[in-house]
Amino acid sequence: MFTKGGQTAAAGTYWNMANGSRIDMDGEGILPGGQQDRYIKAPSAAVLAAGPVLGLVFAVFLPFIGIAMAAMLLVRKVGEGLTEATAASVSFAWRPVEAYLTGRKKKAAGREKKGEKKS
């Protein structure tokens, strides 16, 4: 059913599945492209008839695609919010941009100074 590019193929009409280009082969020959190119052998009438059918399938599933995209967006936003909240709640006792060359003030010393001012 599928034929890869670069392989020998019989006469007929081949359709590239990646870009939709059509290759008409009058006799046996080699299909253009590499191993990543996939071709399907189908007459032009079959490919033209498949267009409206594929359009109908797309139209039927379009609401479900929209719902799935909205759900995916919602999950992504909630995940980002949780990640940001978690990152904001994590704190370190030091700040990399501050040097503390004279040492850090102790909490007890700060409380004593506040107590002396109140008396």
**7, 30 Cβ separation under 8 angstroms:** yes
Res 64: pLDDT: 95
Strands 38-41 and 29-30: unpaired
Res 76: pLDDT: 97
pTM of the model: 0.45
Cα 50 to Cα 41: distance, rounded to the nearest angstrom:
14
Residue 35: which of 9, 3, 12, 11 has the closest Cα? 3
Cα 12 to Cα 50: distance, rounded to the nearest angstrom:
18
Q: Model confidence over 48-93: pLDDT tens digits?
A: 888 899 899 999 999 999 999 999 999 999 999 999 888 877 766 6
Six-digit token string for 108: 């007890």
* Domain layout of the chain by residue ranges: 1-42
